[in-house]
Amino acid sequence: MEIAMQPSANAPQSKPSAGVLFVGIDLGTSHTAIAASNGNRLAIDSIVAYPRDVISQKALGKDKLFGAEAWKQKHACDVYRPMQKGQVNYAELDGALNRDAARQQAAVRDLLQHAVSLAKPRPDDLIYGVVGAPAQASIHSQKALIEAARGILDCVMICSEPFAVAYGLQFLTDTLVIDIGAGTTDLCRMHGSLPAPDDQVTCSAAGDAVDRKLFELLKAAIPQATFTVNMIKQIKEKFAALAGFDEPIRVTLPVRGVPTEFDITAQVREAVESIVPEIVDNLHNLVAGYDPEFQAAMRNNVLVAGGGSQIVGLDKAIERKLNQLGGGRVARVQEPAFAGANGALQLAQDMPAEFWAQLDG
Ligand SMILES: Nc1ncnc2c1ncn2[C@@H]1O[C@H](COP(=O)(O)OP(=O)(O)OP(=O)(O)O)[C@@H](O)[C@H]1O
Ligand SMILES: [Mg+2]
């Protein structure tokens, strides 16, 4: 399915050069980042919360909360992680999340609006926004994103997230981008032009999968301890590594209310390792299906991005696996939190009028 930009049926006549704010938005499952042409750049957790009743609304003094603040108030609010993919069912594991579909769509819109407000547009600015979506987002989810942007952006362009990452870093030829997010890992081949459907693969070997695996492993290993998936995610972000464990990973978890220390080194390693084979398989298939003359160049130009790229040693682990399949070199992007938003902003500034879709009202 084609997600890369095509000329749009309702493009504006021309692209204004003044009175316009360009924004690049990475609307992720786990975090949302925005980079704007006025220099503003912010990231928040992709969480929206609505006070549950008049009492909590009065106590909190607002009717919507976002990011870390939203999660803090989870007991008084309905909480949404609105970009969560269908197959990732946190609700089963963490009762705090609400998954009502209509409210979830409203939460996408609220999150987008909040992100744009963080970029501080001037009241009379036209806002041109490029929104990054997973490489193989369905037409349906692209349409839903465009609908969510109505009334928030004046013109919109949806682009594949790994393409935005590569574009921002000017890695446009013979490069393979692996964007390891929360819900999905998106792999995308770059060959100097817009990627086609067969240049992209999406799989679920990503951050949420590590969290779920670690949650299950710890439930089995230390059934007496109580913890939530969110606690596990924080532990992972603090300790996750595939190499260089200098010290054992010790965490404190409650056992019937009593803080108790556990060594979870083996479980963390197993959970992180569990996502490597699927990523490497997909990487291998994309390289193998590429023009044989340039396969070597692509193998040596693998770029790992996304929050998951911060797992210590993951790049090297992918490289080691790749070595068993003919070799290659893997690099990590410098700013995983902003690489997608920066690239989307760059695209917003570069793409001519015919690629934009105008949103009325
Ligand atoms: N230091 C870290 N070590 C390991 N994992 C991390 C670290 N920091 C963030 N992560 C994980 O990275 C994932 C989020 O990555 P990212 O912010 O790129 O995702 P996203 O763009 O919101 O999600 P998606 O692309 O799936 O929609 C989460 O699973 C998070 O726990
Ligand atoms: Mg992402």
Residue 286, pLDDT > 50, answer yes
Return the structure tokens found at 117: 């407000």
In the predicted model, what is the mean pLDDT of residues 265-290? 93
Tell which one of 26, 30, 234 to mutate to probe ligand 1, the residue whose CB is within 8 A of the most ligand atoms.
Answer: 30
Residue 131 or 197, more confident: 131
Residues with CB under 6 A from ligand 1: 28-31, 46, 83, 181-184, 206-208, 233, 236-237, 240, 306-308, 310-311
Q: Mean of the pLDDT values across residues 189-195? A: 83
Terminal CA-CA length for the chain: 29
Helix (H), strand (E) at residue 211: helix 207-221
Quick one: 239 exposed, middle or buried, by C-beta within 10 A (0-12, 13-18, 19+)? Answer: buried
Yes or no: say if 13 and 353 are a contact pair by the CB < 8 Å rule. yes
Query: Which residue puts its alpha carbon closest to atom 12 of ligand 1?
Result: 307
Q: 55 or 360: whose pLDDT is higher?
A: 55
Higher pLDDT, 90 or 81: 81
Tell me the CA–centroid distance for residue 255 and ligand 2, in Å: 35
Distance CA 63, CA 77 (A): 10
207-273 matches 20-168+338-358 in CATH topology? yes
What is the structure's pLDDT at 244? 60
18 Cα–ligand 1 center, Å: 35
Ligand number nearest to the C-alpha of 30:
1
Q: Pocket of ligand 1, candidates 201, 210, 237: which has the most ligand atoms within 8 Å of its Cβ, to mutate?
A: 237
Ligand 1 atom at minimal distance to the Cα of residue 185: 26
Residue of the CA atom closest to atom 24 of ligand 1: 181
| Cβ < 5 A residues, ion ligand 2 | 28, 181
Where do the structural domains in the chain lie, given as residue ranges? 20-168+338-358, 207-273
Which ligand lies nearest to the CA atom of residue 137 in the structure?
Answer: 1
**Ligand 1: distance of its center to the CA of 306 in Å?**
6
CATH number of the structural domain 20-168+338-358? 3.30.420.40
Of all protein residues, the one whose alpha carbon is nearest to atom 21 of ligand 1 is: 28
Give 202-258 pLDDT, tens digit per residue.
Answer: 898 999 999 999 999 999 999 999 999 989 999 999 988 776 656 789 999 999 999
Q: Which residue has the CA at smallest separation from atom 9 of ligand 1?
A: 307
| Residue with tokens 């890369």, as numbered in its chain | 4
- Position in ligand 1 atom list of the atom nearest CA 208: 29
Closest ligand to the CA of 132: 2
Fold type of domain 207-273: Nucleotidyltransferase; domain 5 (3.30.420)
CA of 220 to the centre of ligand 1 (A): 25
At 167, is the pLDDT very low, low, confident or very high (cuts 50, 70, 90)? very high
The amino acid occupying position 38 is N
206 C-alpha to ligand 1 centroid (Å):
8
pLDDT at 257: 93
What pLDDT, on the 0 to 100 scale, is given for residue 3? 38
**Which tokens is 174 given?**
């013979």
Confirm if 129 and 339 have CB atoms less than 8 A apart: no
What atom of ligand 1 comes closest to residue 308's alpha carbon? 12
- Tokens describing residue 95: 């009762």
Other residues' Cβ atoms within 10 Å of the Cβ of residue 123: 4
